[in-house]
Structure 1
Amino acid sequence: MFKKELYVFDQNNPVKAIIRNYNKEDFDQLIHIQQKCFPPPFPSELLWNKEQLTNHITLFPEGALCVEIKGQLVGSMTSLMINYNEQHKQHKWEDITDNGYIKNHNPLGNSLYIVDISVNPEFRQLGLGKWLMFSMYNIVVEKKLERLLGGGRMPGYKAKADEMTAEEYIQNVVKGKVKDPVITFLLRCGRVPLHIIPNYLEDEDSLNYGTLMEWKNPFFNN
């Protein structure tokens, strides 16, 4: 199982954090974090429920991570394993993650797929999302998988949709001409955009678009 202790920084002040696997006792806090991260108009039915969380810790506990500060959970990240191929190039979040229930988790898969990442807005200045992502990279390496994948929301796109296509928007984000709250964060974490996915997720701010983004395992040998 996974446990990492580290210091993050609140400006110049070090703050001890623990990244570990979450368990049943954490469920209420995990649901509260999602409520803080995704307020309306984000669809409430897309927030975690206890049946989904139970599946996470039962089917793939290694891929169910949370971050704790002073005994309080302040973020989480969930994944499953898939056998990625070209047939997955265009997909919906609900299909590839089994609506977040991950009953399609494949222990023999070649790729780790990110289901969700959430960090309490009150703690985002600590860089916890990046540390959660790096911890998932640790799992990719440990399991000798080819890559990490996930569809990134594009919440800045709605404001730019009259000026550019979704593809042009991502190109401008990569060039640094536009900053997107999610895609720019993922770039900072080492993820690389592969292509746009229409109708990826019901998300008004992204106009339902997602960007499939990849991190390749530098230690993987065919």
Structure 2
Amino acid sequence: MTTTLTAYPRFISLEGGEGAGKTTVLNALRAMLQADGADVLSTREPGGTPLAEQIRGLLLRNEPAGEDVAPETELLLMFAARAQHLRHTILPALQRGSWVLCDRFTDSSYAYQGGGRGLPIALIAGLEQHVVGLQPGLTLLLDVGVDEGRARARGRDPSPDRIEREQDDFFERVRNTFLQRAAAEPDRFRIIDASRPADVVAADAVRHLAQWQRAQQS
């Protein structure tokens, strides 16, 4: 499928597997932009609006007894939340000239529901084209090994959600898909080694955003 997606230079997404440290990096990026006087919106997926946050709860909570969440259901709920998020939060902010920093966007659907669940990439691409229609100008991929990332996540939250309880092979597929997408789109992605100390990772992310910001101004 050939897709035409509008890229917004002030729309920055953070991607990565469990325990990659996206929240710390997002906070550092927001502080950097605000120090320059920019208006910044920080948001997350799934979520970002009251309805989308309710869908997040459906996606991440334990399954009702005897009823698993089908991969297709998971994917469609992700895109339902994304549609609300896009139209009620992201697009209005971009249209008023704000920077938008988003913890996860459509690349996570390719990685988790595509790579992890094995759903067809063409299905995800079709939803991206018809439901989303845009992509970040810059995506920072925080890459960390599955073992290390999961150990960090367990230390942060001893009660994992439905997706966090998946097996290592699921997260290996997720990581590989992220890396494949980054290799296929080097102009949009920057891969950051997230195995390093959090302050080093955050400083590296700030450097990439500063370079991106200068490139947009030239």
Q: Which of the five TM-score ranges fits, normalised by the shorter chain?
A: 0.3 to 0.5
With a CA cutoff of 8 Å and minimum separation of 6, indicate the structure with the bigger relative contact order: 2
Higher strand fraction (1 or 2): 1
Structure 1 length-normalised TM: 0.32
Structure 2 length-normalised TM: 0.32
Higher helix fraction (1 or 2): 2
